[in-house]
């Protein structure tokens, strides 16, 4: 691939800042690839941001805090694009809970169901 794809991030301030420091942030006049979810961020804003990110073809991965993912679980349930991939990550306040991660549910179903 000639040009790589971006890593997008939707999360709380700590999470996003950390990844911005790691160098994933990309802001142009048109759009950015991250959303900082604060107390006053509405559900609609989060949904719209997620939707916009999935429509872009220069994004390969979308990182999202698990507690934010739970808020838009209804959108994530219907999401079935291969790229961008959606990855749920823990946040400072909410450590990782594999029960809520839908990929882990399928993994466990398969490993538990056996055969």
Alpha-carbon distance 87 to 8, whole Å? 10
Q: Is residue 64 a contact partner of residue 10, using CB atoms and an 8 Å limit?
A: yes
Backbone angles phi, psi at 63, to 5 degrees: -90, 135
Cβ nearer to other proteins, comparing 76 with 104: 104
Question: Applying CB under 8 A, which part among 8-16, 38-46, 47-55, 67-75 lies near other proteins?
Answer: 8-16
On whether the CB atoms of residues 91 and 65 are closer than 8 A, the answer is yes
Q: Are 15 and 89 in contact (CB under 8 A)?
A: yes
Q: Does 7 bind other proteins (CB under 8 A)?
A: yes
Shortest CB 6 distance to other proteins, Å = 5
> Is 64 an interacting residue with respect to other proteins (CB under 8 A)?
no
We find the least distance from the C-beta atom of residue 51 to other proteins, in angstroms, to be 19
d(CA 95, CA 84): 24
| Site residues, other proteins (CB under 8 A) | 1, 3-7, 13-28, 33-34, 36, 60-61, 63, 82-83, 85, 87, 89-92, 95-96, 98, 101, 103-104, 106-108, 110-111
């Amino acid at each position: 691939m000639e040009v790589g794809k971006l890593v997008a991030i939707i999360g709380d301030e700590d999470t996003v800042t950390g990844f911005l420091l790691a160098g994933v942030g990309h802001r142009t006049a048109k759009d950015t690839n991250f959303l900082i979810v604060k107390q006053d961020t509405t559900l609609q804003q989060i949904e719209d941001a997620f939707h916009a990110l999935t429509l872009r073809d220069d994004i390969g991965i979308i990182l999202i805090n698990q507690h934010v993912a739970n808020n838009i679980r209804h959108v994530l349930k219907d999401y079935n694009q291969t790229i961008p991939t959606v990855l749920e990550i823990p946040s400072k306040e909410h450590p990782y809970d594999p029960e809520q991660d839908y990929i882990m549910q399928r993994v466990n179903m398969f490993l538990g169901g056996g055969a």
